[in-house]
Amino acid sequence: MTTSTKPPVQGAAPQGAHDVDSASRAVREMFTSIAPRYDLLNHVLSMNIDRVWWNRTARTFSHILSRSDAKILDLCCGTGDMTFALRRRAGGANPKIFGADFSHAMLERAAQKSLGTTLQWIEADALRLPFPDDSFDLVTSAFGFRNLADYDAGLREIVRVLRPGGEAGILDFSEPGGLMGKIYRVYFKHVLPKIGTLISGVRGPYAYLPASVERFPEPDEMRARMKHAGFSDASWTPYTFAIAGLYRAKK
């Protein structure tokens, strides 16, 4: 059990952002700028552990993915790696799976990667989803929820589009403690930004990344926010020494 020591924050706050709208614009511009090298950088900077995390998350929701009548939304999907993990886990069940993101450049790459599949891509803001209430059996988000300009509004929107009994899975970074935490912070704050900037040619996003993780609510606070938004049974499962973890809850 963790005890949050961070002051509550509304959401992501890239440098220069002063409200929800400007924060959203700044995040969209950052991710659009790194879209061409996004997949390569994810795998290099995580040493390919990200693939394990996506697959483990998808496996958690096998009971939903195995239903041919299920509808699934992967939110803040980027170039679709979590979406593809969900599709692989679904196998021959072939449920309807949608990926949504507000970066057109990211979705273009997702669409190129998904040719020949039934995956569908929607350009949409996670705080204003173009879906009616009670639309999905499962909503996931992998390493994107942390970038929302308003965490609580994002949770309420997930609750809104989930059907009663539907589930949510939010996979995101956390800050481990102990010796691993010290090693992690050196890598995340000093090594990762330099490698990311070198490969992408863009400095801003990789300086923003460690700051966004440091700002993100700790597990106890995040679970409390999920329950306040209307979820029940909110849990957090740490992955790989708590470098990342899965928040899971039911409407």
Tell me if 1 is assigned to some domain: no
| Confidence band for 44, pLDDT divided at 50, 70 and 90 | low
Q: What is the 3-state secondary structure (H, E, C) of the chain?
A: CCCCCCCCCCCCCCCCCCCHHHHHHHHHHHHHHHHHHHHHHHHHHHCCHHHHHHHHHHHHCHHHHCCCCCEEEEECCCCCHHHHHHHHHHHHHCCEEEEEECCHHHHHHHHHHCCCCCCEEEECCCCCCCCCCCCEEEEEEECCHHHCCCHHHHHHHHHHHEEEEEEEEEEEECCCCHHHHHHHHHHHHHHHHHHHHHHHCCCHHHHHHHHHHHHCCCHHHHHHHHHHHCCEEEEEEEECCCCEEEEEEEC
| Confidence band for 1, pLDDT divided at 50, 70 and 90 | very low
CATH number at residue 195: 3.40.50.150
More reliable by pLDDT, 245 or 20: 245
pLDDT value of residue 45: 66
Tell me if 50 is assigned to some domain: yes
pLDDT value of residue 41: 67
Tell me if 233 is assigned to some domain: yes
pLDDT tens digits, one per residue of 46-71: 778 999 999 999 999 999 999 999 99
Tell me if 7 is assigned to some domain: no
Tell me if 12 is assigned to some domain: no
Domain holding 207, by residue range, is 20-250
Mean pLDDT, rounded, for 69-91: 97
Tell me if 4 is assigned to some domain: no
Tell me if 113 is assigned to some domain: yes
Instruction: Quote the number of domains for the chain.
Output: 1
Mean pLDDT, rounded, for 145-160: 97
Tell me if 74 is assigned to some domain: yes
pLDDT tens digits, one per residue of 230-245: 999 899 999 999 999 9
